[in-house]
Amino acid sequence: MANVSPSTKNPMGKPISSEARIYISKQLGIGQRTVSNVISEYNSNKTVTSPCKTRIRTSFKDKFDDLQMNTVRFHVHSFWFNKTIPTLDKILQVIKDDDTLPDISRMNLHRLLKSMDFVYTKRNRNSALIEKDEIVLWRRRYLQNIRKYREEGRHLYYLDETWVNAGDCTSKTWVDKTIKSPHDAFLQGLTTGSQNPSGKGKRLIVLHIGSEDGFVPGGLLCFESKKTTDYHE
């Protein structure tokens, strides 16, 4: 384009037609909008600047250094410390409120969490791999006692309770896959992840007792909890 003198008018003094712009666009291999912009720039400034051929696009990861990503990780774990579910919107709001962190869109936050080895997965109670040592010991003692009672020929009855929350509970949550054990979480000042909802608040309580012969007649206790107490009580 060095030898082309842009003008909005031809030698007869008439504006350049759209056909002419299309022709110029095809000959130079550039878009018609670019042709119009160059002509407009020349008419305004009597000169044409060379456009930048390469556009440097910054990734959302470039905005967050290692220290800032660790801050994001601690923000996510702070929800678990408070026994609440860290949804994407909640995490985004915390980041916006933190002046030390750059702005980020909801979509890029989702990508950032995945790049930090967080996984958005369905909640479950299969957490044996990250259970505390005392829980593991309790289970061992339970299994040893069950084996002993069976060898003695005792008739075993099982008693347990469960509950249904008055409100909804999300079935999915963010999980930090970098945490491998409770000891690892303790050393980093983090948590082992999302915990089951606490036994607080209004809910339906169901209690029953049974054995290998079935439920015990009259052993069902089902009621609505109206007190803010632990459902185990």
Choose between 155 and 27: higher pLDDT. 155
How much is the pLDDT for 216? 94
In terms of Cα–Cα distance, which of 45, 54, 39, 44 is closest to 4?
Answer: 39
Domains in the chain: boundaries: 17-51, 60-123, 133-168+202-225
* Cα 207 from Cα 163, distance rounded (Å): 9
Most confident of 35-39, 66-70, 117-121, 126-130: 66-70
pLDDT value, residue 219: 92
pLDDT tens digits, residue range 49-101?
776 666 666 677 778 888 889 999 999 988 878 877 888 899 999 999 998 99
pLDDT confidence of residue 213: 92
More confident residue, 191 or 126: 191
Cβ distance 39 to 7 under 8 Å? Answer: yes
Residue 151 above 90 pLDDT? yes
pLDDT band at 169 (very low <50, low <70, confident <90, very high): low
Higher pLDDT, 222 or 61: 222
Q: What is the mean pLDDT of residues 180-203?
A: 68
**Torsion angle (degrees, nearest 10) of CA 34, 38, 39, 42:** 170
Number of residues in the chain? 233
